[in-house]
Amino acid sequence: MAKLSTFSLMFCIVLCLAVSTFGFQAPEREYVIYNNFAYIIETRTLQFIAGEHSYTIADLPEQIQRESIFIDKLTGGIEILQQQFDANVFNFNRLLNEHRGRPVQITLIDGEIIQGAFYGISGSDFLLRIRDSFIAINKSSVRSYTIDGISSIPPFKSALNIFASSRQAGQGTMQIHYLVNNIGWTGEYVGMYDPGADNLQIKSWARIKNNSGSNIDTDKIILIAGEPHKAVGGGPVYPQAQFALRAADVEQAAAFQVEEAYIYHKYTLEQQLKLETNNEQQVRLFPENDITIVQKFIFDVSRFGDKVMNTIEFTNDSEAGVGQPIPMGTIRLYQVDDRGSVFLGEDNIKNTPLDGLITLQIGVAFDITRKRTQKQYRRIDDRSREETYEIELSNASDEVKEVIVDEHFFGEWRILASTIDYTIPDSRTAEFKVTIPPEDKVVFSYTVRYN
């Protein structure tokens, strides 16, 4: 009988331990997904031995926040005495790196076979030495590999070791709770704009990403919109992966049910989600909505520099808006008419409650130009001064345009004179509304005193 190598023996011990204790029974997991992490509740059924013994709970996500683990709802007369998380118990990369120089055979996806000496793993690459040369082979191009006669088997990546007391032998269940990094979601919105009707048709999606090192398989999708406070240093931050994206079949899918969850909002959908690690998936968030919008042109040096920005806004109520609390995300706007389709622009949406106002920046107006000139500066004393500004707005289009000019001031101020009417919406702003005829221009000026 051939003698087992150290690598073979270690690997067999790992597999036998897992099989004899748990029979590879997959846990039932419930995922509560936040914007950049997830809270997971998994139910495990274990075979316990009477008395006090150690057990290993394997196959936890790579990017689990180990300090967040806690166990409850134990059945079968079980009591947990100690628990310890070990990220390296089944670290396959570590086992491989301990066997550098051993013969390796790699079969690529296209069928090509490469033989050499295993040199190690660097990131996502296998490093091989072939005679006097070193080559790197990306794992994504590998179908299988064999080292010392042991074929590649998907490894367990991390484990929780528990020391438990059981009154009798038999099965028991427990719930394990923990937080995981690099599972998250965000809203994605597509707006189809009809300029003639001042109407925006919005399609909304939840984009769910998984880079946790563990596949997601659940019958219920629970998403949380909000910003829970996280303690500084409460968990490691991992680099983002490059994701492959696929859209869920949403033609017959129901929309999420929305309800309050403490100070946040919860979106629940009774729909299966299967999402492998390093992938993203889109699921329909709300039914399509026709939204009544208001279009504006704004000249605000403090916000947009020397440009006139086109914006649209709407109130998120049941009549003009979506009628549900809107999670933060990105909205992309398009115009579709008989002449074809045009991408208009995109902007970010913040978490917006019912009856909240949403303002979206679309793009810089092409036909509206402006010129802002300081015409006078007069220092009255050490604490007072006066400034006069002239603003010229030109409209090259064949339609009437209304431009809102926002001028911002600091300290104690008041406008002494203005050639057009204005309002004061807040303590630092004067707002001028200017109507510009087609192919014409309007010039106005004002004087402000600072004290």
pTM above 0.95, yes or no: no
CA distance 332 to 191: 6
Q: How high is the pLDDT of residue 3?
A: 40
Lowest mean pLDDT among 80-84, 104-108, 240-244, 395-399: 240-244
Q: How high is the pLDDT of residue 252?
A: 41
Q: How high is the pLDDT of residue 249?
A: 40
Q: Which two tokens stand for residue 157?
A: 């990546």
Q: How high is the pLDDT of residue 18?
A: 37
Q: In the chain, pLDDT over 70 holds for what percent of residues?
A: 81
Q: How high is the pLDDT of residue 5?
A: 42
Q: Number of C-alpha atoms within 13 angstroms, CB side, residue 209? A: 18
Would you place residue 13 in the very low, low, confident or very high pLDDT band (cuts 50, 70, 90)?
A: very low
CA angle 319, 325, 327 (to 5 degrees): 130
Residue 201 has pLDDT above 80, yes or no: yes
CA angle 90, 86, 12 (to 5 degrees): 25
Residue 19 CB burial class (10 angstroms; 0-12, 13-18, ≥19): exposed
Could you read off the pLDDT of 213-269 as tens digits, one per residue?
888 988 888 999 998 988 865 444 333 333 334 444 434 445 688 888 889 999 998
Stretch 44-64: mean pLDDT, rounded? 84
Q: Choose among 294, 360, 291: nearest CA to 319.
A: 291
Residue 368 has pLDDT above 50, yes or no: yes
Secondary structure, 3-state, the chain:
CCCCCHHHHHHHHHHHHHHHHHCCCCCEEEEEECCCEEEEEEEEEEEECCEEEEEEEECCCCCEEEEEEEEECCCCCEEEEEEEEECCCCCHHHHHHCCCCCEEEEEECCCCEEEEEEEEEECCEEEEEECCEEEEEEHHHEEEEEECCEECCCCCCCEEEEEEEECCCEEEEEEEEEEEECEEEEEEEEEEEECCCCEEEEEEEEEEEECCCCCEEECCEEEEECCCCCCCCCCCCCCCCCCEEEECCCCCCCCCEEEEECCEEEEEECCCEEECCCEEEEEECCCCEEEECEEEEEECHHHHCCCEEEEEEEECCCCCCCCCCECCEEEEEEEEECCEEEEEEEEEECCECCCCEEEEEEEECCCEEEEEEEEEEEEEECCEEEEEEEEEEEECCCCCEEEEEEEECCCCEEEEEECCCCEEEECCEEEEEEEECCCEEEEEEEEEEEC
Stretch 104-128: mean pLDDT, rounded? 79
Could you read off the pLDDT of 287-330 as tens digits, one per residue?
888 888 999 999 999 999 999 999 999 998 887 778 889 999 99
Residue 109 has pLDDT above 80, yes or no: no
Q: Which two tokens stand for residue 389?
A: 């500004």
Stretch 54-65: mean pLDDT, rounded? 83
Q: When comparing pLDDT for 151 and 378, which is higher?
A: 378
Q: How high is the pLDDT of residue 12?
A: 41
| Most confident residue range from 122-136, 212-226, 304-318, 424-438 | 424-438
Give the phi and the psi of residue 450 in degrees, each rounded to 5: -105, 135
CA distance 285 to 203: 8
What are the angstrom distances between the C-alpha of 30 and each of 105, 209, 221, 266?
40, 16, 8, 14
Residue 14 has pLDDT above 60, yes or no: no
Stretch 112-119: mean pLDDT, rounded? 85
Residue 21 has pLDDT above 60, yes or no: no
Q: Which two tokens stand for residue 123?
A: 């990131």
Radius of gyration (C-alpha) of the chain in whole angstroms: 31
Q: How high is the pLDDT of residue 98?
A: 61
Residue 119 has pLDDT above 70, yes or no: yes
Could you read off the pLDDT of 83-104 as tens digits, one per residue?
888 765 445 555 565 667 778 8
Q: How high is the pLDDT of residue 93?
A: 56
Q: How high is the pLDDT of residue 96?
A: 60
Give the phi and the psi of residue 33 in degrees, each rounded to 5: -105, 125
> What's the whole-number average pLDDT of the chain?
82
Query: Which residue type does 63 have?
Result: Q
CB 65 within 8 A of CB 51: no
Strand partners, 282: 207, 247
- The domains of the chain, with CATH numbers, are 6-90+156-181 (2.60.120), 92-151 (2.30.30.100), 368-450 (2.60.40)
Q: How high is the pLDDT of residue 49?
A: 85
Residue 362 has pLDDT above 70, yes or no: yes
CB 312 within 8 A of CB 200: yes
Give the contacts of 118 (CB within 8 A, at least 6 positions apart): 96, 99, 100, 101, 102, 103, 104, 126, 127, 128, 147
